[in-house]
Amino acid sequence: MSTVDLTGQVALVTGGAGGIGAAVVRRLAKLGARVAVVDLDAAGAHRIASAVDGIAIAGDVTDPATMPAVVEQVEKELGRLDVVHLNAGIGGGQPGVAALDLARYRKLVGVNVDHVVYGVCAAVPALRRRGGGKIVITASLAGLTAMSSDPLYTLTKHAVVGYARAAGQAVAGEGITVSALCPGFVDTLLLGAAKEEFDAVAFPLLTPSDVAEAFQSVLADGKPGEAWVIQPGGKASPYHFRGVPGVGGGQIPPQVVLGSG
């Protein structure tokens, strides 16, 4: 894994009070960054932030006003913004193919998709002021393949991967790297009751620390628009997308499809 020195830099992490977010907060602090911990859980955000000499910001990331306010507060209190980890996410928990709990669906899209768009739109101007920076979005393997047990979660993570790929190419020329991190199943509260099922068959799970290590690899080596995969026992690496059929059946390379070629 490549080394990263973030001494003097400032990062923010959404969903930073627990699970993957808390592990990434600790990793960023270890690499030298001051970290703003953003979470709906105010007490949890303060607990993690105080442990790493960071700042805590409580807020609902599904509110369009939250992420612009977060970025403004980070720049005001910490003086700059260099690294953004848009990590907040929830599970769908319903099939969504014959019946739909509309309130739960809207909340799922709000956290998993809307917050990512709000976060990127708020962060890019701040990163431009620094001459560049990094945005890493937590997606999932469900953003690269079908997870039939939760089609709605799959929908949101496919959207996130697509957005990261396109947004990454859109701002690459400004020194801003937008990429996605797609972990397999991680041992966090998001698993819910499925954790017992995984344990019963000794299914290997990633730890939040594993994902934080993969996050560091993306920071060090990630290219604009890439989606990195991490699975138990393996190393983080970029996923290789195929091109789509072009005129006459030839393959159009992904970077051309994304508009950079």
Residue whose token pair is 């977010």? 21
Q: How far does the chain reach from its first CA to its final CA, in angstroms? A: 30
Contact assessment for residue 88 and residue 21, using Cβ atoms and an 8 Å cutoff: yes
Strands (E) located in 45-86: 55-58, 83-86
Max CA pair span of the chain: 59
Q: Which of 105, 118, 153, 239 is catalytic?
A: 153
Going by C-beta distance under 8 Å and a sequence separation of 6 or more, which residues neighbour residue 220?
1, 2, 3, 4
Nearest Cα neighbor of 210 from 240, 191, 244, 234 is 234
Other beta carbons less than 10 A from residue 11's beta carbon: 30
Q: HSE on the CB side for 239, CA within 13 Å?
A: 27
Active site residue 239: no
Going by C-beta distance under 8 Å and a sequence separation of 6 or more, which residues neighbour residue 154?
142, 143, 146, 147
Catalytic residues: 153
